[in-house]
Structure formats: C-alpha cells, structure tokens
Structure 1
Amino acid sequence: MKHIALPLMTIVIMALLGACTKSASYQEGEVYHGFQLIENRFVEEVNANCLYFVHEKSGARLMKIAADDANKLFSVSFKTTPADDYGTPHIMEHSVLNGSKNFPVKSPFDQLLKGSLNTFLNAMTGSDFTTYPVASMNEKDYFNLMHVYMDAVFNPLLHSDPNILKQEGWHYELDSLDGDIVYKGVVYNEMKGAYSSPERELDYQIYKLLFPDNTYGVSSGGYPSAIPKLTQAYFKEFHNTYYHPSNSFVLLYGDADLDQELSFLDQNYFNAYETSDKVIEIPLQAPFDAKKTAVKPYSVPLESETEDQTFLSYNFVAGLNTDEELVMALDILSEALVNHESAPLRLAIQEAGIGKDIYAWVDNTMQNVFQVTVQNANLEDQEQFDDLFFNTLKHVVDSGFDTETVEGIVNRMEFRLREGNTPQKGLMYLFALKNSLLFDENPFAGLEFEKPLAAVKEGIKNGLLESIVQKHLIDNPHALLMVLEPQPGLENELAEKTTQELAEYKSSLNQEELEQLIADTKALKEAQQKEDSPEALATIPMLALSDVSEDVQWYETVEKSVSEVPVLHYNDFTNNIVYANLFFDMHALPKELIPYGRLMTELIGKLNTENYTFGELDNALNIHTGGFYTYLSSYLENNSDDQLLSKFVVTAKATEDKTGQLFDIASEILNHSKLEDVERLKEVITRHQSQVESEVKNNGIKYAMTRTTSYYTNRGMFNELTDGLSYYNFITDLTDNFDKNGAEIVEKLQQTASLLFNKQNLIAGITCSEENYVIYQQELKKFIGTLPNEKVQSNTWAFDFEVKNEGLTSSSMVQYVVKGYDYKKLGYEWDGKMQVLNQILSRDYLQNKIRVMGGAYGGWAQISSTGNALFASYRDPNLSETLENFDAAPEFLKAFDVDSTEMTRFIIGTISNMDRPTTASQRGSMAINNCFTKQTKAKLEAERHAVLTTSVEDIRSYEEMMADVLAQDVICVYGNDQKIKDNENLFMEIKSVTN
C-alpha cells in the first residue's frame, strides 16, 4: 500500500476524532466490566469525552477523561473527615504506601521512585479528602503504577505491622535505661516543621474557631502535640471506615485503553467488595450569632523584636463550594478588593500604615472561607483595622468596584482557564473535579467552567460583586477576626513541656516496661535497617531497559535578528499565544548594584509610569496579557562556574492579536517607570521586605542551600546576593532606613535601570508558530526602537569566597542540614553516570538513613553537572546525627552491591527524571536554556548513554570523590535556636536569620 503523507494538523485532528469516536461508542446504562456507565458527556472545556461510571458491586465511582494525551494519569481518592488533631488521614496517606498484600516490601512507593518512568508520583492529604495520583507516558508503566497504588490503598500491611505507624506517624524511642525517651516519626517531624510557620499556625487557629463542630476545625495533617495520641487500634479502624470502594473515586485521564482500565480495576480489586451502607458526610457548620475575635500566640526566637510581627486576619464562611458561580465570584472579589495593586482595601490599609502587606484568598472547603490577612502589623492596630475594614467594604458597596479593574481580573482568569498551561493536565483536572466529586450531584461541574463564567460576567454588570460583599462579608455573622501575635521563646517552652511530659512518662514505667520499650526501639531500628528480600522486591513491577527509549528530549532555537537584536525563536504550536522573553544582561551592572537588579524585578510593573498610575497599569496588564513577570535567572556556559551568565528576565504572554499591546506596556514599564516617586517606592519596597521575611521564616532549606553554595561558587554567591539571607538583610536595611536614604536608593535604582534596559544589552526569546512570529517580529521591532541604544560595558564580578559554616537560628521546631562542595574544584569532572549516583544516594542511602531511621521528612543528594555536590535534610529532628550520616556516604558507596535487576531499577528511575511531559512554553524555555549554556544534543545523548550503561562498579568508583567533597567540611544549618546552640562546636558562627 502506498503511504500518503498527511499534514501534522490533519494527523492531530484524526487522532482526536479517533479518541472521541472510541469513547463515544460507550452507551449510557450499559455495564462494562462491572462498571455501569451513568453518563457519557463531551466536555468542551477539556475537549474530550468524559465518561462517568459506578461500579455496581462495590459502589466505587469512576470518571474517564478520554483525552488524546500520552501523559496518562490514574488517581484513587477518598473522602476523609478526621474528628481530631491526631493527623490520622495524613499518617494513613504515608502508611498505606509502606507495603501491601501483593507488594510486601517496606516501601513500594520508594521502589517506584527508584525505578519507574513515572512523570508524577505522590499522594496528598487535604482537609476533607486524600488522593493518590500517578502519571506516566509509558502504558506498561502506567498499569504497573495503577496496580501498586490500588493494592496499597485497599490491601495495606499496616493492619498486621504496627511498625508502620511507629515509623510514619510516631513512636516512643528509648535506647538505654539511663537515656531520655523522645518522640520520633516522619509525620510528627514533618508537622513540627510545618507548624514552625506562623502562617500555618494562623490557619490552624482560624479553622479551629470557625468550624468548632465539624472536620474543618481540626488538623488533618496532624497538630504536633496531638499526634502522639494516635493508637494502632484507632488507626486500623480509620482505614476500615474510609478506605472502602464505596467511599472512593477513581479518575482516569489520557489515551490508555478504557476497556483495559475498567477490566483491570474490576478483576483485581473492586469485584472483591460489596457496596457499603456507610455514607461519609460532613455536617454543615451552623453560622454564628455574632462575629468572633481571638488573640493567639506564635513563636519567635528569644530576644527577638516583636514590633511589626503580628498578623491580623479577617475570615468569613461564605456559601458552599458547589455554587460554582459564587466560588468564581469570590476569587474575583479577592483580587478586586485586596490583591490588585489599587484594590480599595489594600490602599486603605497602606494609607493607614497598618502592617506591611495584605493579601486575600478563598479556600474552597465545603463551606467557602474568604480570608484577608495583614502581616507585619501590631496588636494595637486591631481596633483600627476592624473599623477600616468594614468602612471600606461599605464604601465599596455604595460606590461600586472600578469596572476596568474587574474587567482585567476576569480577563486574566479567563486566559488562565482556557490556556491550561501545564503538562500535568490530568492532575489539574483532578483538583478541578474535587469539589464536584465530593459534594455535588453533578460530577462534571468542576470541569465545565464556561457556564458559571458567563453567568458571573453577566452578574458583574448587575452588581454581583457588591451584593456578595454586603451578604457574605458585611452582614455575615459567621466571621472571625484572628490576631496572631509573636511570643519570644514559645517554642522552647513547648519543647520543655514535651520533655517534661516524656520524663514523667518514663518515671511512670517500671523496670520491665522500660526494658520492653528499649527492646521495641531496637526491634523497630532493626526492621528499618533490614533489607527487602529478593522475593519481595521481585513483586514490584518494573520495566526492562529495552522499554526505555534511547532518544533524548532535545529542543533548540533558531537564532534570528530584529533591528540588530538577537532573537531566539522556538517554533511550536501554541494555540495563537505568544510566549515572549526579554533577557537583559546583568553583567551591565557593577557588583555593588547586583541586589538592586533583583529589587528592580519587584518594582517595575508596580510603580506609576508616565502614562499610567500603578492601578491603571495593573488593569492594562490584566486586560491585554495573560501574565507579565520579571525575575533574575543565571546560566553557566558549558556548566562552568567561571562562565556565569546572569539575566534580568521579562517574560510575558498574550494572545497573538494583543502582541502589540504587550510590547507597548513593556516599553512603558521599562522606559517610563517613575523610580523617583519615593512615596510609592516606599510602599512597594516595604511590602516586598515583608514577603521576603515571610519566605525566610518558611523556607529554611532554600536559605541553607543557597548560603552553603555561596561559600565556594560564583553562581551560589550571585544567588545569595539576590535571593538569599544577604538579600534579605539588604532589603531589610533599605526598608528600615528608607526615610533617611530615600534619595540614594532612587539614584541607585535609576542607575540600575539605565544600565540594564538598553538595546545593546538585550537578547529576545520567543515561543510561537512561524505564522505568529510575523506579527511578533513587527511589534518587537517597534519596541526595540523605544530603548536607549548605548555602548554597554560588561562587568566581571570578583566574589570573595569564605567558608563560614553557619548555624542559622530561628523558632523552627526542626532543622534543615546541608553539607557539600564543588567537586570540580577538587579535580573531578562530570559524567552522566553521576545522575545514577544521585538517584542511589537520594532514593536508597539518604532515604533510609535520614527519613526512615532518622525521622526527618526528607533527605537527598544533589549532584549536578555544574560541580555542586550537596547533601541535605528537610524538617529534620536531628543535627549532628545527620552530618554523621552524610559523612558515612563514602562507606556506603564502597560497599555498594546490588544485582542487575536492582541496578536496572535505579537506571530507569534516573531516566524518569530526565524524560518529562512538557508544554510549548516549557519547551521554549528549555531550548533557550540550551542556547545560553551551550548545551548540545550530542552531549545529552552521551549523558543518556552513560546513564543507561552505568554499572555497580561505576557507582563504587565515586567513593573517593564523595569522600573528598565531604572532607572539605562545608556545612550550613537552619534550625531551632536551642538545638543549634547545643551543637555550637560544629559552627564557626551562629546567627539569627531575622532581627
């Protein structure tokens, strides 16, 4: 038969029609492998047939989104409604993944992370449901993942093995008669880390008071002090109650064969169950008679300043999450009332000088919660905040919202809904469906946004937003004003209380009970150290190397030129959206202005310009673009730290017909922002400082890792100056001394802008089709004509490196421990086999030592082609013990010995990290990255070949390199102030991360 070549678009359309025709053949009312098809509906918003089934025998519900997408997703979800703070749903989520009937290994989850081609593999616990999603582009792998996850949730070993709860939840640990009893457990320490965040504590206290009578008033993740109340009997009963098919919902997404999926699920799992008559329901919280006010504490380190550290938060229970129009309107309201640059409540709070930042968001629990929070305020601001809040709302109701502001917000929302710019479409739809699946009679409602969007747009014309403000905010008694104030040393007090409770518990035990606890501790550790048998490991399904493609994901740009400015064009179908980037070389700045370059990314787009007020500018961006962002990015040519490229990046997206408006606005922002407007400048810098401070308190691992690499690499130092503690200190000093140094700050910002935003300092990047490029080119040419065109001097930054080995103290209840160095400085070179080394150290050695045995939430290695070799732990109760485990890694490598099957598993897991689904915009970014770093397809192919041919001997050969790296003894620890002080001998310097 003669082969006829068809245009690409024809092939795509035929594939879509084929998928639609196949799924359309399923008839409503018919039963397929035990599943009765309730409805087969084509949903325009996802461009696919969506088929809703109920399994007749077990009561399980299932939806298939029959999209023509190779990145297939399977998830099984359960409504989980805890009645206490024990964290049972969260611990259950961890525990079911620790061995099951058909896969009796210690952690099938970790085995899959080691050796599957998954593109997504995780599990998540929300306030009212728990979900287990997996995704893969390989069909064999997809069904393997489905099998392991289904067996995990329905046949877990937790019923017969109490060590699982002990490891993943909590247990008493005692090593000797004269030792102290301590709490250990992965989730216990995870939540200690989570509740080190004042924002997490704020949410806990808010929901505890807003929902005293239903599940939303407790912590599904677990409140640290309550987790040790969870017993094995209670735990098992929770699983029996909630993990039944009748309480489950399965989502299938992508191009896998539906008949095969249904057959597999029926024959292997659901056919073994009968429908349960137990219905999991959440009673509605009765509204309050009157608004509540509460003041609660959160911890800051001893001797910390408490001024400007209080949170003021207004919270309203507003309708049901099944009201799609209300939910959408509330989201718009959060932007129009608070988050927009010229939102009335934001302006009122700024003018009154209350706090440094204000933000709003909507939590779509069964009963929506509309939240408005001011951070960096003071306790004495409470009364003024209360009055100002409601006076502003009343004014809004009387005068109405600015129509242009609302139009822009709706446009941005609509753009986001239609674009769906994620490679994990199945995961996106899972969360879109969550509320309609749990609470709505129409399971499709979460996907079908067009109808509520049209209703909201029409309603806005008739005062919808104003009526919501009146009904759900002003007249709503189901409201809470929560004040969260700092209390220095509170965490140490709580730690001391826990120590005292454990001491009292120990004193209550007799000799025999103490010896039993010691024996139990030893037995748990032995179980954790015991390796899975070859027979058990053989049950975990895996692919063969022959299932793995030798092809690399390679994307490259075509270099063009517009008005003598280089343009990097990545040609791809983008559905008539242009993804535009402007790269301005940061090396135009002298070293002392580097932090100002970062600050500039936070300022432009938020300031007044010659032709726009900052509010009008926000409106224009919302109306004409799908996003406009500025940030710094760094690249290493040929992976060499001595060839650092740092770029000030402007990235924006818009539909093709609005490319001109996009560049007009970009020109206005870059050329005509009023940096000399000190009043507005102070407002934005103060807000930014508040946001950075919040990040410093909540993201210990980021700051510890950045600080560590700043001790010895150019890129690390650049990141430290622009996004590390050094930058935090810089921006805090600017804020504290703005009134005194305002003129100097303006001068440096103007100098920074004039050096950066120059035609000769620019490279443009674009992801779009050739057809769209024609218009892009015309508009880019006009834009370039607006830029200054002056000779640029490129500065070489000479950084002074110093190993500081710092202990960074905070009120955190856990530690983030980092150790590492640049192996290239020690004479070693990158090899693709190091990617497998990284997989083995992370998924095998550190996973076991740091998480399973140490009780931390996570531990991993990060060995990169740039030279960095880092070990890190996350939400870790330990400190010196973790460093000892890091230092023992070379011994692990020396003794490393696995069979060919296990080695294949590690190799396939490594490939999984290399092969990911992508969107057009992501492919464009990867292509530009390849250009800047001088990456080539040949290099990537050589690396992939190295990975696929890695041997046990190769891994052993890295013992010397890792020993040399660790021998440099370069560390940084972010953690609890007392814990760090107790280990002061490890540090050259101890300092607080804030104040």
Structure 2
Amino acid sequence: MKRKTAYLFLGVILAFLTACAPNEKFQTGKQYHGFTLVEKKFVDEVNAECLLFQHDKSGARLLKIAADDPNKLFNIAFKTAPENDCGTPHIMEHSVLNGSKNFPVKSPFDVLMKGSLNTFLNAMTGSDITTYPVASMNNKDYFNLVHVYLDAVLNPLIYEDPKILQQEGWHHELESKDGEVVYKGVVYNEMKGAYSSPQRELDYQINKILFPDNTYGVSSGGYPTEIPKLTYEAFVDFHKKYYHPGNSYILLYGDADLDKELQFIDVEYLSGYDLSTEKVEIPLQKPFSAMQEAEKTYAASDDAPTNDQTFLSLSFVAGQSTDRALAMTFDVLTEALVNHESAPLRLALQEAGIGKDVRASFNEAKQNTFQITVQNANPEDKDRFKEAVFSTLERVVEEGLDKTMVEGILNRMEFNMKEGNTPQKGLMYLMLSYQTWFFADNPFIGLEFNAPLEEAKKSLETNLLETTVARQLLNNPHALLMVLKPEPGLQAKIAEATEQELKAFQEGLSEADKDKLIVETEALIEHQKREDTPEALATIPMLELADISSDIEWFEVNKKTVSDVSVLHHDAFTNGILYSNLYFDMRTLPVELIPYARLLSSVLGKLNTENYSFGELDNELNIHTGGFNTYTTTYLEGHSDENLIPKYVVYGKSTTAKAGKMFELTNEVLNNSIFNDTERLKELISRHQARVDSDIKNNGFGYAMTRLRSYYSKSGMYSEQTNGVEYYRFITDLSENFDDKSEEIIAQLAKTAELLFVKENMIGAITCDKKDFEAYSANFETFASNLNADAPQLNNWEFNFEMKNEGLTSASKVQYVVKGYDFKKLGYEYNGKMRVLNQIISTDWLQNQVRVIGGAYGGFSGISQSGNVFFGSYRDPNLAETIENYNNTPTYLEEFEADEKEMTRYIIGTIAQMDGPMTASQKGNRAVQYYFEKTTPEELKAEREAVLSTTSDDIKGMKEMVEDILNQGAICVYGNEEKVKENADLFGEVVNLSE
C-alpha cells in the first residue's frame, strides 16, 4: 500500500515536471518529425529555452523560442537577393498571398483579415529578406494561420495564373481601341507613393552608389520606372530560386506544443522536398579606394521654393551585422555623435548654420551603413558640410567623447532592451535574430544581446568609441558624400517620359495585339470582380463563434489622492518599472494658444533650465529614466465630440529606485525651463519645422484625414491646430519670421506653460505593482508641492466649422482620398454592430474596389464610437473613381448577402480588432482612457454582444446611415498637383501646400 502511494506520488511529480518543462524530451542530436535538434539552450535575454533544428530532408532551418507567452508567432523567412530595381521580391511577397494549391481563393490573406483572431498578420520585404509573420493567442487559429502561410509561400498559384503578377505587380491596361494604354498594379502604385518621399529617394540613390555590385544597391521594393521591366518568366524563376525550404528560416515563438508544430510542418510540407543544390549567397561589395561624391535630384512641386530644401549626406559602409559588438558600438555612436542634444556633430553643424536638422542612422545588413544626413540645407553647403563633419570627427578621436553622455546613452539602450515593452515579442526576436542567422548561421548571436552590450560598456573606461570612429569613419574610403536637391517640374518630366513610353508601346501594337490586350484587360477586371466560390472559401480554415469568448477584458484604475491631487493607479506587474503620466487639462488655455501647446511639447526637455544646460539635461534623463517626453492628446467623454477633453501629457518611466530622480527632472523641465534663450529656441523651432515639413511630405493620408475632420468636429479642429495643415503653417511662419516674432513666441510659450502646469489642473496616472506604489506616491507628493497652486479656470473653446472640401496639392505621385462625416450629427446612435459593418466595408468592398481593381495600395473605412466615419485610400492612382466607389457603398450594402458562415467570418475578424495582446503599460493607458471617457464594463459587454449577434440584415439595415454620411459631401484629397487640378470641379478649393 505504501509502495503504491509512493508510485502515485512519483507519477504526480513526473507529470508536474513534464508540464513545467515540456521541451525536456528534446535531446540534441536526435530527430523529431524529420527535424534534428542541433542546439538547445536557455537564453536569458528572452527568458526562454531556445531550440535550433535542421530539417534533414529539405534543409529548412527552424528555431523555437519556447516562451510562456500565449501570443504565439509563426514566421517563415527567405534570404532574397534581387539583382535589379524591378521590385521582384516585393511583388512576390504580395503575390504568393493571392491563392495557393490548398487554398485556391483569390486572396487567402484578405480572407484571413476578414475572419481570423490573428494579433499580427503581414508580410515584409527588406533588402536581403522576405518574411511572413503571423501571430495569434488562439491555439486553433494559430495552426490555421501556419497552414495557410506555409501553403502560400511553397505552393502559390503564380505558376498557373499570370493575372496575379498583373494585379499585384504591374500590367498594361487598355479598355478599348480608342483608349490609352496605362500602367496599373498595386506594388507599382505603392512604390510611386513611397518614392514621393525625398528621404526614400535619398536612400535609394545612396545605396545605388555604395553597393554597385551586390544586392544592397538595388531597390528590393521596386523603383517605379523599373517595375514594368519585370517579366513573368523572371518572376516565376525568382520563386523557384529563393522559395525552396532549403533557403528558409522558420521561427516559432510562444507556448504552442512544439511536438505538434514540428509534426505538422514536416508532414504537411517539408517532407515533400529534397535538399536544393542552390545556395543563396550575397557577395561582399568590394570597398572603394576613395570616397565618392554625387549630386542627384528629387521631385518638387512646380511652385515650391528650392532654397533650404536640399539634403546633404555622408554615408559609410561599416563592418558586418554578424559583429554584434560593432553594431552595438555604432548604436551608441549614432546618438553620441549626432542624435543627442549636445552631440558634437549636431553642435558643429548648428554653429556652421548648415541645414535645419541633422540625424544619424545605422542600418544593419550583411554590410552595415552608417549615415549622417542634414535636411533643409543648400547645394553650396556641401564642402562646408564635409569639412565640419570630418574636422569634428578628428576632434572626437583626439579629445574623446563625453563619458557622461555615453553613460546615459548606454543606460537608455540597456533599459529599453531589457524592458522589451512590446506585446509582439516574437516579432521583436525575429528582428534581432535574422541577420546573424542568415550570415553566421547562428540566431543566438542576435538574441544574446548582453555580451555585445557589455563590450559596448567598455567605452566608459576605454577609447573604444574613438578608435571605432577613426577606423570605420575617418580612415574608411568606402564612403559617399551625396547632395540631393529639389527639382521643380521633375515629376512632370517623369510623367511625360512614362506617357511617351506607353505611347510608343501602343503605337507598336498591331490591331491583333490591341484586341489581345483588351481581352486580357477585360479578363483581369473580371477576375478581380469575381467572388470566390463557397467551395473555395470553405478551404480556408476558420473558427466557430463557440471558439470566441463572450467575456470582455476590463482594465481598471483605482482613484487615489496624493497631496490633494487625484492619482489613477493601474495595478499590474511591471518588473519594478514605473510608467507615469501626468495629465494637464488644456482648457486652461485660450483657443489661440492651442498650437503653442504642441510647440511647447516639442521644445520641453531640450531647452536649458535653471540647473542644467540642455546637454546636461539630456544626459540626466538618459541616465535616470527609461524615457521622457511630452505630447498633446484628447479624450471624448461619453464618446461625444461635444465633450472634448484635451490633455497635455508628461510621460516618464523609470525603475522604482530612480523614481525620485525622475520627478526631480520632471520638475526641472516643467518649472525651470528657460524660454528666453533666443539662440537655443530658434534652433529648436527651426529643427521642429523641418521635421513637420518632412512629415507633411510623407504622411499625406494623415494630413488629409485631419483636415477633413476639421470641417465638422471639435476634435478634428483641435487636431488640425496641433498636427494638421494649420499647425504646419503656424510653425513655418514662426520659423521663417523668428527674429521678428521671438519676443512674442517666448511670451506665448511661457504663458502656455504657466497656465498648464498648475497643481489643481493635474491628474496623475501610474501603472505599477501595488507594492511599488509607495515609491511613486512619496516622490509624486514632493513634485506636486512644487507646482503653481493657483486655481485654474477652464475655457469654453468655440470653433467655426466650414465644409471646405479641399484638394491639397504636392509633389506626390499618388493620391490619398478621404471622405466622411459624423453620424451622431445626423441623429444616429452608436451600436456595436457598426464594428462589423466597418469590417465588411473595409475588408470586402473597399479592399476589392479601391485596392484590387483600382490598384491603390489600400482602401479602407473607419467607424468610431464618437460618430466619426471615414472612407480612405492610400497611395491611390485614382481620384474621382475612388470617390465614386465610396458613393456606391450604399448600393453595395443594399445588395449585401452573407450566409451564417460568411457572417461568422466577419464577426471573428471584428473581434480580432477588439482583442489583442497588450503590455502592462498599454493596459494602464487603456484603463485611463476608460476613466476619462467614462466607459463602463457594461458598455463594453453590450458592444461585444452586439458584435457577436450581428446578422446580414443588420448590415443591410445600416445602408441609410451610410448614405446620409456620404450625402454630406465632405471630402479632402492630398495628391499629385496635376491630378488634383484635373479634378478641380470636385473641390471647393485647391490648395498648394508648398506655398
């Protein structure tokens, strides 16, 4: 009897150990489902056991990071090395997700977007990698995603259906004999949009010269004028060469059953492949014997000024990514040489008056590049720029870098690496590991960041940084001095060249060729319009509603009082880190100071203070905090635009041991910043304007969206004055006329700070463990006692709305077309079923009409609880046609039919947008949002129940609301100058953003 009890007890212990260490059965050197375990080790940096396998039959490599994380990630990556600018890897990335052997629908990717619980679903192309990551917290859904993605990359329909390349890449389109041939294609238009950015053009031109002989010198995404040179034969040959499992790198992350994962991948896919004889290698670029110089141009609007619009850049090819110590050393140098507020190169260029902003970046690849770029300069500054950089670098080598500055930079790096504050940790580890996996056949080198970090820390005691500067920069001839200057009218020249190219092509067609092209065009359009059959859709695995929990996840704050100030505490395990937000109500400001609050957020923490120079302050913030910044945001109480709650937020994070120092520095920034240092303020405003100017050239959709909402909503008008076209005009005026307006600017900034930073105007919020709250509250109390104690008065902001319906012109090669309105202003109330409506309009109607048929990179809608509704397109070759598609939405809804299975798919996809992994700090922010907006658990529960019970008739029943919204006629378009002017009759006004 005693022996039996002992055996039972032993069995319990063994079961417990097996459950706690499920990977103990995997032994190095043994085979499991066709995979041999090559190496197994616990990696402290990822807090998980990591198992590296080789698939014996196919040659595939597989790494499992067995973390105790329900957000499981699967990724398969291929080393890809394009030989030209046709964008073949990028087009392939799109194309393989357009149907496969086991899932023969037009786009399994889009079907999954409609109806999967994925927490991440995407594919990405880099200079030497094409990668396919998917993540889910639902085990069944996770394996469904693995199945679809593996089939997509290994068994795509591209070999039997050339229309996939035509749709996703490019094609000639001719609809009638008297029509004109045009280029169409999703990637073609995506890259036209991408290369509307001068920064993207700069990087392209630099890499082309630095790497003339290997893959890093070509555009893996595709250069617009070169994409139409890609042939179907070269396209499928690319897949044959690079998409064999022997060239694949599979990453598994999370708590899924490893045995099941290996078995599935082997049985369903890899066991059908033999080893490939082709090995993908990327040769090293032979170094230059002397630095090269080049001058190129980028497209600017016809009326755009050219003064102070040139980019100057110095780039160096510096070592290889497999040398992790060198890579981390350069991470320090990007900050210490340039990006830090008192970095020597930043100060030298400011003193020389060269440009308005300077940044350094370090790009890791088989061969790394270190780049210093000045923007808003002039071509004639080139030689002074080069001399300033090299003389400063020589001084750095001779005199050394400030060790206190380096200490702060290292502290911030270490804090952020060890914190790992992202809910997508699998994706983070993918990015850390793939370079060393690709080029050293060892993913662990990339994951184990502690060792190279310790090497980088030696720079505090040695001249490591200085010798790296000497060896890799000063004495490195593999370098380039680039001048990229604006060329007004260049876009028109490119468009004309494309038009002539197409005209010559069309003139070379025989009548039979024209007939054939018309038939091909009709066939492609018919294919794009065709709906997948129920049989084809049934092949895509999906969950049932029974797999979806009806429970909500509620995030709560405990409202406490510290020093007579309300503090919102979200209790969560944060591993000893305090995530602090201070919320100041902006309604203490008169309406004319709203843009000054945004300006204030850009300069605070960068000014001299009573006790620190700006450089010393930057050092202190780096040494004692994990992050510090200020910004403006809004909440809508009761989800009503009438109840706008604008907040100025001061954010900081630190360990509990450094809480006192974090609040001491916060006090220094808020109460002791020196605004009347005109020289420093002028530098900061000039730099800030340059960044806003760059942003307005790169973020057309955001500016069009903000502008549209300013026509009819308080929150939109507020956003327009803090982040929109009006703010761009405001900050440009201040920058250009600073000398005349400096006294006014100083006075207004000081007044803004004085009105905001008042004790009774503040609410504190903290996310930390209950046991750490005391460390926070004691220091918060001291901080609060230093604030102005005057009683604040709130203003009632009055905004004048006007339906301007503007066309915003720029040098963009594509359009961003936005239309929308507020349904609450039309008498409608929010219902959770609107979430499903939005999912259907976005992923079915607009995805097909605007992206698939129209050729835009994206077409989507948004419906919010506050009442705001928008229809938007991204990198769109069209304008009027897209608005027509928006206007046809009511007809689509009137004819909408979906059976129970289709509705289930839409509902699951909607739930995926509502649920997702979150970090502790994100949960704390969500809890604060609920507090300010007065959201209740009952409200969230009702919303979820509404989503889960949505029917096809419910969707049809919202047709009238959508029609009413569209009938308001509110539109805003950001786009190509010629295209906007061609459609001038659609707008109330055409606005040139460069004027």
TM-score range, shorter chain: over 0.9
Counterpart check, 1:619 vs 2:619: yes
**Residue equivalent to 1:262:** 262
* Change in CA separation of 1:708 and 1:19 when aligned onto 2, cut-off 3 Å: farther
In 1, Cα distance between equivalents of 2:16 and 2:835: 37
**Residue equivalent to 1:852:** 852
**Residue equivalent to 2:696:** 696
Question: Does the 8 Å contact 2:305/2:994 carry over to 1?
Answer: no
In 2, Cα distance between equivalents of 1:711 and 1:366: 49
Deviations 1:367-409 (A, max 9, x none): 1100000000000100110111100000001100000000000
Show the 5 A alignment for 1:24-43.
24-43=24-43
**Residue equivalent to 1:921:** 921
**Residue equivalent to 1:570:** 570
**Residue equivalent to 1:742:** 742
**Residue equivalent to 1:892:** 892
**Residue equivalent to 1:343:** 343
**Residue equivalent to 1:600:** 600
Show the 5 A alignment for 1:174-253.
174-253=174-253
**Residue equivalent to 1:54:** 54
Deviations 1:352-381 (A, max 9, x none): 110000000100011110000000000010
**Residue equivalent to 2:116:** 116
**Residue equivalent to 1:435:** 435
Show the 5 A alignment for 1:815-964.
815-964=815-964
Shift of 1:22: 1.6
Deviations 1:237-283 (A, max 9, x none): 10000000000010000000000000000000000000111110000
Amino acid at match of 1:206: I
In 1, Cα distance between equivalents of 2:669 and 2:737: 26
Show the 5 A alignment for 1:361-510.
361-510=361-510
Give the superposed CA RMSD.
1.0
Deviations 1:522-580 (A, max 9, x none): 01000110110110000000000000000112101000011111000000000000000
Counterpart check, 1:992 vs 2:992: yes
Amino acid at match of 2:255: D
Structure 1 residue matching 2:50: 3-state secondary structure? strand
Shift of 1:823: 0.8
Amino acid at match of 2:684: V
Structure 2 residue matching 1:23: 3-state secondary structure? coil
* Change in CA separation of 1:350 and 1:275 when aligned onto 2, cut-off 3 Å: same
In 1, Cα distance between equivalents of 2:381 and 2:587: 44
Structure 1 residue matching 2:423: 3-state secondary structure? coil
Deviations 1:698-720 (A, max 9, x none): 00000000000000000000000
Structure 2 residue matching 1:24: 3-state secondary structure? coil
In 2, Cα distance between equivalents of 1:442 and 1:148: 28
Counterpart check, 1:654 vs 2:654: yes
In 2, Cα distance between equivalents of 1:389 and 1:196: 29
**Residue equivalent to 2:584:** 584
In 2, Cα distance between equivalents of 1:81 and 1:617: 45
Question: Does the 8 Å contact 1:16/1:68 carry over to 2?
Answer: no
In 2, Cα distance between equivalents of 1:831 and 1:399: 66
Structure 2 residue matching 1:779: 3-state secondary structure? helix
Structure 1 range deviating more: 199-208 or 431-440: 431-440
In 1, Cα distance between equivalents of 2:781 and 2:847: 53
Amino acid at match of 2:636: L
Structure 1 residue matching 2:22: 3-state secondary structure? helix
Structure 1 range deviating more: 435-444 or 950-959: 435-444
In 2, Cα distance between equivalents of 1:475 and 1:358: 22
Question: Does the 8 Å contact 2:18/2:24 carry over to 1?
Answer: no
In 2, Cα distance between equivalents of 1:18 and 1:82: 46
Question: Does the 8 Å contact 1:19/1:66 carry over to 2?
Answer: no
Question: Does the 8 Å contact 1:102/1:539 carry over to 2?
Answer: yes
Question: Does the 8 Å contact 2:407/2:460 carry over to 1?
Answer: no
Question: Does the 8 Å contact 1:19/1:255 carry over to 2?
Answer: no
**Residue equivalent to 2:163:** 163
Question: Does the 8 Å contact 2:66/2:255 carry over to 1?
Answer: yes
Shift of 1:994: 2.4
**Residue equivalent to 1:644:** 644
TM-score, L = length of structure 2: 0.98
Shift of 1:226: 0.4
In 2, Cα distance between equivalents of 1:19 and 1:800: 64
Amino acid at match of 1:529: K
Question: Does the 8 Å contact 2:903/2:952 carry over to 1?
Answer: yes
Structure 2 residue matching 1:319: 3-state secondary structure? coil
**Residue equivalent to 1:763:** 763
Question: Does the 8 Å contact 1:20/1:48 carry over to 2?
Answer: no
Shift of 1:639: 0.4
Shift of 1:441: 3.5
Structure 2 residue matching 1:647: 3-state secondary structure? strand
Amino acid at match of 1:836: V
In 1, Cα distance between equivalents of 2:440 and 2:803: 58
Shift of 1:460: 4.2
Counterpart check, 1:22 vs 2:22: yes
**Residue equivalent to 1:329:** 329
Shift of 1:16: 12
Count, aligned residues: 982
Shift of 1:24: 3.0
Amino acid at match of 2:226: A
In 1, Cα distance between equivalents of 2:553 and 2:286: 55
Counterpart check, 1:554 vs 2:554: yes
Shift of 1:18: 6.2
Structure 1 range deviating more: 872-881 or 509-518: 509-518
In 2, Cα distance between equivalents of 1:791 and 1:213: 68
Structure 1 residue matching 2:482: 3-state secondary structure? strand
**Residue equivalent to 2:74:** 74
Amino acid at match of 1:58: S
In 1, Cα distance between equivalents of 2:408 and 2:186: 45
Question: Does the 8 Å contact 2:833/2:950 carry over to 1?
Answer: yes
**Residue equivalent to 1:302:** 302
Show the 5 A alignment for 1:746-825.
746-825=746-825
Counterpart check, 1:634 vs 2:634: yes
Structure 2 residue matching 1:22: 3-state secondary structure? coil
In 2, Cα distance between equivalents of 1:471 and 1:50: 36
Show the 5 A alignment for 1:711-726.
711-726=711-726
In 1, Cα distance between equivalents of 2:417 and 2:199: 28
Question: Does the 8 Å contact 2:303/2:994 carry over to 1?
Answer: no
Deviations 1:194-246 (A, max 9, x none): 00000000000000000000000000000000000111111111000000000
In 1, Cα distance between equivalents of 2:572 and 2:122: 30
In 2, Cα distance between equivalents of 1:894 and 1:637: 34
Shift of 1:443: 2.3
Counterpart check, 1:141 vs 2:152: no
Structure 2 residue matching 1:337: 3-state secondary structure? helix
* Change in CA separation of 1:956 and 1:77 when aligned onto 2, cut-off 3 Å: same
Aligned residues: percent identity?
Answer: 60
Question: Does the 8 Å contact 1:209/1:217 carry over to 2?
Answer: yes
Question: Does the 8 Å contact 1:818/1:873 carry over to 2?
Answer: yes
Structure 2 residue matching 1:59: 3-state secondary structure? coil
Structure 1 range deviating more: 80-89 or 438-447: 438-447
In 1, Cα distance between equivalents of 2:18 and 2:809: 60
**Residue equivalent to 1:8:** none
Amino acid at match of 1:90: H
Shift of 1:442: 2.6
In 2, Cα distance between equivalents of 1:746 and 1:67: 52
In 1, Cα distance between equivalents of 2:793 and 2:17: 57
